Amino acid sequence: QLTMSLNSSTLLNEEKTQGPKRNTECLASVELQTPSSFQDNPLQQLQLASQEVLEKAKKSGRSKCPRCNSSRMFYCYTCFVPVETVPTKEIPTVKLPLKIDIIKHPNETDGKSTAVHAKLLAPDDVTIYKYPCIPEYEEKRHEIALIFPGPNSVSVKDIAFHLQKYTKKGVCASDDDCSREPLLKQAKIEPEEEKNPNECISSSRSEGTRLKKIIFIDSTWNQTNKIITDERLQGLLQIELKTRKTCFWRHQKGKPDTYLSTIEAIYYFLVDYHQEILKESYKGQYDNLLFFFSFMYTLIKNAKCCAGKE
């Protein structure tokens, strides 16, 4: 316990002075918390894989990235791979019901971003782009939504209704170019043997929506305007997560506590999507997306307590 307290306090100081390099340097797992602090932890109910691998890596210190040889803690935030002391087989993987694109602001510090957590934990379903290098979404507007709070944003439960309107109108370059048939009528049923069930979860389990991809913007809130106003993102359905509160330790002053970190937004959206759109009971299927985040949260919370900050 004494060792944990000393190491936690030391790391908290490094968090302040060397934040970009300390995104996941966590020392204390949920199991190490006292009953009172455990009770205060809003992430305590998560069904997570064993974090023993992170405990072991923490004790051995920083290690090399197997690709670029940079010194990192737990994983390389530029190569999106675990470091040498964290065997990939001991990191959980999560299968998502749809694809996720993360658009990262070029000035967003790699070491501070939680977007890399998603790529590490759901590598088959997550793609990270550095703005301005992003895909063209215009032809897929009927099956894509953007997570962003705004005056025109809708709730997760209303996705089906609003995507239906996109489908009925068709995907048009302009309001005047709507002569072709609505895309809803162009849907074809593939032969059963050609279907990949793992890629068709949302379409097979959900009536009224053809949502296949969600876009998240990874930046500080003051930097989002540059990306959200990009013409390639105009016309996309916008979704706002209004009922969740952030646990992020770098929460920005002056912003509401419903403004989430990237990995929190991804996780909470998927939980809501699973219940509201797929109409299935949630049993922790996506909890491991917070595998690194919850570990870091506990570290920072305990370190602040040890330092007398709370």
What's residue 228's pLDDT? 92
What's residue 178's pLDDT? 36
What's residue 222's pLDDT? 75
More confident residue, 90 or 247: 90
Q: Is 164 helix (H, G, I), strand (E, B) or coil?
A: helix
What's residue 62's pLDDT? 93
- What is the average pLDDT across 78-84? 94
By C-alpha distance, which of 109, 118, 162, 170 is closest to 139? 170
Model confidence pLDDT, tens digit, residues 129-147: 999 999 999 888 999 999 9
What's residue 225's pLDDT? 85
DSSP 279: -
What percent of the chain clears pLDDT 90, i.e. is strictly above it? 45
Question: Could you identify the residue written with the tokens 């990995």?
Answer: 263
Whether residue 119 has pLDDT greater than 70:
yes
What's residue 34's pLDDT? 33
Confidence at 165, pLDDT banded by 50, 70, 90: confident
What's residue 274's pLDDT? 95
What's residue 301's pLDDT? 74
Whether residue 281 has pLDDT greater than 70:
yes
d(CA 270, CA 4): 34
Q: Is the pTM of this model over 0.85?
A: no
The end-to-end CA distance of the chain, in Å, is 18
Alpha-carbon distances, residue 197 vs 114, 150, 190, 240 (angstroms): 29, 34, 11, 29
What's residue 280's pLDDT? 94
- Cβ–Cβ under 8 Å, residues 43 and 30: yes
Confidence at 150, pLDDT banded by 50, 70, 90: confident
Within 8 A by CB and 6+ apart from 12, the residues are 300, 303, 304, 306, 307
- What is the average pLDDT across 174-190? 34
Give the bridge partners for 217, in sequence order.
Answer: 103
What's residue 105's pLDDT? 92
Within 8 A by CB and 6+ apart from 80, the residues are 116, 119, 120, 123, 128
Tokens for 156, please give them: 């997760």
DSSP 80: T
Whether residue 47 has pLDDT greater than 80:
yes
Whether residue 126 has pLDDT greater than 70:
yes
Model confidence pLDDT, tens digit, residues 211-247: 999 999 998 777 888 899 999 999 999 998 876 766 7
Confidence at 259, pLDDT banded by 50, 70, 90: low
